[in-house]
Chain A
Amino acid sequence: MRIEADLIRPVVPAPAGYRITWLLALPFPARNMLRRWRSMLGMMVGVGIALAIAMTLSAVGKATIDVLVGDFLRSGADLYVLQQGGTPLPVYPSDTPGMIKNARSTLAAIRGISGVKGVVGVVAWPLERGRQGPVRKGERAELIAAVGIAGDPIAISNMVVVKQGRWLRRPGEVVVGDKLYRDKKIAVGDLMRLNGRDFVVVGVGRLRGIGFDADQRAYLDYDDLRQRAGLGDILNTIMVDTDQPEMVRHRIEELGSFSTFDRIQLVKLAEPLLAGRIAIFNVLNFLALLIAGIFVSNVLGRSVAERRLEFATLRAIGIPSRTILLTVGAEALLISIVAGIGGVVLSLFFGALLNGYMAPEYGLESLYSVDTGLFLTVFALALGLGIAAGYFPARAATRVEPVEVLREA
């Protein structure tokens, strides 16, 4: 049958060739999804924020491990030597790294092992900080966590972090951690009285590989600390830089009853310590995703209810249920994808704020650690959740009875 148009005198002639844009060539569900993006903005923003929270929690969870072991991983030392039974990552008050006796001879023996490029020993001890001038009656002593350093840490790459001034060069000098510098308002060039002797503050910085409170400590020469604290020839930890860690580890353990840890072992030790915190982060993460899913389902459900007439019309004119299902499903998919991308961007922004402003306040290098794998997992979960959440409203759209809705209209 020739089309009816021929039988009517057209008011204007049919265009010679109607230009079909790429949008018009798309299937209806995809075209509808793109046409309606403005009405979905609210949902995209809401879900995007929920995903940003989930991703930020993941990144902060990752950074929590980093806070504990990041310094060890970046320090340039390949092995950490402790007296057998010592705890390399002290978390609880009873945790102690232990004491290596005959420290100088042990250091010399390790230096003598072939393949060893550098050795640094550390011992931590609290020192009393005195004020300049006369002491008032009843004035309480202030204790500073001091670290004595034997050997040259500058010779080991990345072991020393200096933010101001310089590192220790000679006896009588002290370097203070960044948090100590800010909290106690100690400036480079000041004198700092520790256990009755004045030390010149030559820098602000820290030694990596001694634990997560390195920014709160004062660093001084090993002999200075021993003398001030009245310590014997002891060390807590010896850090070793080597190209042959396995061979060197065996040789060190032959020297005495020592335990040696490499970086991978330290990370494995840190993970169970943080299991509780990571579990809490995962629960919060799951809740954020669940809220996002409920939000999508709820709002999309309301949108379907508001558009009952539209779906009824589609059903009435013979559009198959599958197309209607895909139409609502595509909207859920678009919301999830845009919200996912927005969530990543927003989370990175939160991360920049956390690392730029909050982390220094706590004396930490980072409170937010980007993990592509984790981000992709959250993104994939959000996508799956969005589709699942969109399924029920989509089914509801296909069950709209055209006759009822058209009667109401």
Chain B
Amino acid sequence: MLQLHGVWRIYDGGATQVVALRDVTLSIDDGDFVAIVGPSGSGKSTLLQIAGLLDRPTRGTVVLDGREVSSLSDRERTRLRLVTMGFVFQRFHLLRDMTAIENVALPMEAAGVPVRERYTRAAELLCAVGLGERLDFFPAKLSGGQRQRVAIARALANRPRLILADEPTGELHSEDKRQILELFQTFNRAGHTLVVVTHDPEVAAAARRRIEIRDGHVREVPVR
């Protein structure tokens, strides 16, 4: 589904250059549940951003479904993110002036889903993540775990094949973390491909594949 070939990412800091990724080659298949682990500053988030078409590699190529996508225009990459990928961030990044259901319906609106259909689906998704009674709540009225569940529902809105999550449990308590992990496993069983950047051993243990990144180099770690 997604391949990275010889990807380098070098940040130009003027006098100094920071190499975040060094010649990374990686393949993620349909239905994978991949945990990307490694110490802080090792390049985990950079790898996720390149895989998620949020950033471009300095060198190397990114291939999505057989198509080279790293050189696509901003507009094409935005469209691909909208219909192919779902994002879950550590700090949720919900729109504070929109209710939970509006946050979930927004990507569908951008994709051109009719009004009734998008709100029906948004309500179903929120019910599925256990927030059926919080559809019209603003993010400020939700707990951290609830906000992350709204963010997950938003990530699933356009039925993406690939879900990318950056430290999705980093700000959550253990009970909330457990619920989020259950959701991820359920989505993976349903056929979604998941790539999760995490520091958390519990999350890493829930994944079917583990990729460790250290000083910009990646290596596959066998899962016990």
Contacts and interface: CB of A to CB of B under 8 A. Distances in A.
B126 to A, nearest CB: 8
A304 to B, nearest CB: 15
A15 interface: yes
A108 interface: no
User: Which applies to chain B's interface (DSSP): helix, strand, loop or mixed?
Assistant: helix
B120 A323 contact: no
Contacts of B91: 409
Interface string A1-28: 1011101101111110110100011011
B140 interface: no
B192 A10 contact: no
Contacts of B183: 8
A321 B115 contact: no
B97 to A, nearest CB: 4
Interface stretch (A30-38, A206-214, A244-252, A254-262): A30-38
A324 to B, nearest CB: 10
A4 B54 contact: no
A8 B128 contact: yes
Given A1-B191, A316-B87, A317-B107, A14 B93 contact: no
B110 A310 contact: no
A320 B77 CA distance: 10
Contacts of B125: 3-5
A109 interface: no
A407 interface: yes
B97 A36 contact: yes
Contact of B127 (A1, A5, A7, A17): A5
A320 B110 contact: yes
Contacts of B147: none
A310 B123 CA distance: 23
B106 A10 contact: no
Interface residues of A, number: 41
Nearest to B191: A1
Contacts of B129: 8
A5 B128 contact: yes
Contacts of A310: 93, 95-96
B78, B81, B102, B120: residue with the most chain A Cβ atoms closer than 10 Å = B78
Interface in B88-135: 89-91, 93, 95-98, 101-102, 105-107, 109-111, 115-116, 119-125, 127-133, 135
B54 A13 contact: no
Contacts of A321: 74-75, 78
Given A7-B187, A32-B95, A318-B110, 9 more contacts: A3-B121, A4-B156, A4-B192, A8-B129, A318-B82, A318-B85, A318-B111, A403-B55, A407-B45
Closest 10 CB pairs of A and B: A318-B82, A5-B128, A12-B132, A11-B130, A318-B81, A313-B93, A14-B127, A35-B97, A18-B123, A403-B55
Interface of A: 1, 3-5, 7-8, 10-15, 17-18, 20, 24-25, 27-28, 31-32, 35-36, 309-310, 312-321, 323, 402-403, 406-407, 409
22 contacts: A4-B192, A5-B127, A7-B189, A8-B186, A14-B123, A15-B123, A15-B132, A18-B119, A24-B105, A25-B115, A28-B106, A28-B109, A32-B95, A35-B97, A310-B93, A313-B93, A315-B78, A316-B89, A317-B107, A318-B83, A321-B74, A403-B55
